[in-house]
Structure 1
Amino acid sequence: MRSESSVIFSELAGESVVAKLSVLEFFARAFALVGDTESCLAMKYEALTLREIKSPSCLWLRVSHSEWINFAVQSMEHGFPCIARKASENALLGLKRDSIIEPTSEEYSETLDAAENVRRLRDSAASLTSSHSGAEYLRSKELKILSRQTRPIKNLDSTGSNLFREGISKRNKRMLQHLRSTQMVRDMEPFSRSG
């Protein structure tokens, strides 16, 4: 289904934003139904990003900070801290954009609380990302070491240089045999003329 979605997206190049968003939402729901969480989140992220890109010209497309926060939480819950970190950063940008409210108002304090929660979410996502990448690095290093230790010993007869030498040796034997046979034919010619 992933390949089908990419084909459809390439066909939507000239379509309106609304059509693209409808297709993204359709695929997000379809991936959710079949249990492909990663693809579902990818479609949601694409939709949010597309809306964010087009929002300067169409204000109704603007992504709220709460949408980014919800997406970040979903990403963290499903084990995608890298995506959650990026969504958290977008939520912080949205909060900054929305904080043009008077500093003394009650909404401003709620915005500050929300920003602090998003920062904590972003920081935990970042630490999970770094610990995951560190663990992956150690696992790959360990696998490399194990593969070196358990590599089968190569048959010395099948190395390239040995095969090359054997080929030269066989060729030389054939040439020697050919020369001997032509020499024998020459040696026999005087006897056949005299007889």
Structure 2
Amino acid sequence: MSRSIDEQLSFLHSLIQARSFSDATLRFLQLLLVSKDVKSLTEVRSSLTQLLRSESLSAIRSVATKTVQDKLLALEFFVRAFALVGDQQSCLALRYEALVVRDLKSGRCEWLQVSPLEWLNFVEDAVRNGYHAVAEKACENALSRLGHDDDLKPGRDSVPENMKAIVSEITRLRNCAMTSIASGSVQVQAAEYLDRKTTKRQKSDLLYREKRCLASTSFRNGIKRQNIRKLHEHQSLLQISDELDGRHPNLRY
């Protein structure tokens, strides 16, 4: 990575630490992603993702005691920043956080109220990107909020058709998310079972090979000992024969 890129990343870091959550900062971030070199672009994107993940936590904590507008400004900035660098997981997580903040404060500030369509759009994005647990939470939150208003409950004739369709779609996506989570859980359990079974089989095979090796070694060692014993017996017989020949010359042929 070139020196100029390092300096630009450092400058972006200083802007974020100064809580400059403006369009100008986002434009500067976007300029850092303009590169003709694919390898360089990959490195810059990775560095930016790490920087944003680290600084987003610090920044969001720093505005925790401030106004809802300050919180939403910080959240919106990082949502857009993560979208620019292609970090969908972080982007969705902070989008959900922003929706929850608005939902919690909407009782006192009506303009913060999250519309059913906003919930639906978020859930669709979460499901599309495979974040089913987040999608399920968003669906439950959305349906819970809709259920607080009797005029919006599914099945009532006073509910507009488009609202019925949104509630129905949110319910369908919630069921899809729950099914995917359950399916994923079963797949994880199956994978863990197969891993345990494979590990057990590998250990069994290793033990069997070790036993065979020990048995083979013992057999070879036994043969060696037997051959050595026979050799010693043969040498002893030769020695006795030589001694007898020396004492009784008549025994020689």
Asked if Structure 1 and Structure 2 have the same fold, meaning a TM-score greater than 0.5 normalized by the shorter chain, the answer is yes
After TM superposition, the structure 1 = structure 2 runs for residues 82-101 of structure 1, keeping only pairs within 5 Å, are 82-100=133-151
* 2:120 aligned with 1:66: no
Contact (CA 8 Å) 1:55, 1:62: kept in 2 or not?
Answer: yes
- The answer to which of 48-57 and 66-75 deviates more is 48-57
Describe the SS at the equivalent of 1:100.
helix
Q: 1:54: which partner in 2?
A: 105
Q: What is the alpha-carbon root mean square deviation over aligned residues?
A: 2.4
Contact (CA 8 Å) 1:54, 1:61: kept in 2 or not?
Answer: yes
* 2:217 aligned with 1:146: no
Q: 1:3: which partner in 2?
A: 54
Contact (CA 8 Å) 1:81, 1:129: kept in 2 or not?
Answer: yes
* Structure 1 residue 104, shift from structure 2 partner: 4.3
Contact (CA 8 Å) 2:76, 2:95: kept in 1 or not?
Answer: yes
CA distances 1:16-52 after superposition (whole Å, capped 9, x unpaired): 1111111111111111111111000001011011111
Query: Matched residues, percent identical?
Result: 38
Number of corresponding residues:
153
Using the size of structure 2 for normalisation, the TM-score is 0.55
Q: Quick one: distance in 2 between partners of 1:110 and 1:8?
A: 38
* Structure 1 residue 5, shift from structure 2 partner: 1.1
Q: 2:48: which partner in 1?
A: none
Q: Quick one: distance in 2 between partners of 1:95 and 1:147?
A: 50
The correspondence for 2:79, drawn from 24, 28, 35, is: 28
* Structure 1 residue 116, shift from structure 2 partner: 1.9
Contact (CA 8 Å) 2:80, 2:91: kept in 1 or not?
Answer: yes
* 2:110 aligned with 1:44: no
* Structure 1 residue 93, shift from structure 2 partner: 2.5
CA distances 1:49-80 after superposition (whole Å, capped 9, x unpaired): 11111122222111111111110000000011
Contact (CA 8 Å) 2:79, 2:90: kept in 1 or not?
Answer: yes
Q: Quick one: distance in 2 between partners of 1:22 and 1:150?
A: 55
Contact (CA 8 Å) 1:99, 1:111: kept in 2 or not?
Answer: no
* 2:170 aligned with 1:118: yes
Give structure 1 stretches of 5+ with no counterpart. 154-195
Using the size of structure 1 for normalisation, the TM-score is 0.69
